[in-house]
């Protein structure tokens, strides 16, 4: 198994906007070969900030790569205007993990 994990730190009170954004993306993703599920977690981390973790579970890294380069995924990103990140986002990161145990 394989996880794609996105970590987004936002100003306090804005985690719901991030959660909604990832909740609305489930349709096409759920139809992809190798997709196993998604979890969106919210944690208050410091005074004035919240953290959102989006964990997408795949059967394999190859399945995730196929989704990343699929026409549906690419079209979804092209449909969004090339704007600067919203001012409520403090920081973000993207990591990949293999399940070993």
Domain ranges (residues) in the chain = 2-98
pTM: 0.84
12 φ, ψ (degrees, to nearest 5): -55, 135
Query: Would you say residue 72 has pLDDT above 80?
Result: yes
Q: Which range has the worst mean pLDDT, 9-18, 73-82, 91-100?
A: 73-82
CA 36 to chain centre: 14
Query: Would you say residue 9 has pLDDT above 80?
Result: yes
Comparing CA positions, the residue from 86, 89, 84, 92 lying closest to residue 49 is: 89
CA 72 to chain centre: 16
Query: CATH assignment of 2-98, given 1.25.40.10, 3.30.70.100, 2.60.40.420, 3.40.50.170?
Result: 3.30.70.100
Residue 30, H or E segment? helix 26-30
Kindly state the average pLDDT of the residues 70-98. 83
């Amino acid at each position: 198994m394989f996880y794609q994990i996105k970590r987004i730190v936002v100003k306090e009170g804005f985690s719901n906007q991030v959660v909604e954004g990832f909740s609305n993306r489930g349709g096409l993703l759920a139809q992809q070969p190798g997709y196993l599920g998604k979890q969106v977690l919210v944690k208050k981390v410091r005074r004035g900030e919240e953290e959102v973790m989006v964990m997408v579970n795949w059967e394999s890294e190859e399945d995730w790569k196929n989704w990343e380069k699929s026409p549906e995924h690419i079209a979804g990103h092209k449909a969004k205007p090339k704007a600067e990140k919203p001012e409520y986002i403090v920081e973000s990161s993207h990591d990949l993990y293999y399940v070993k145990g």
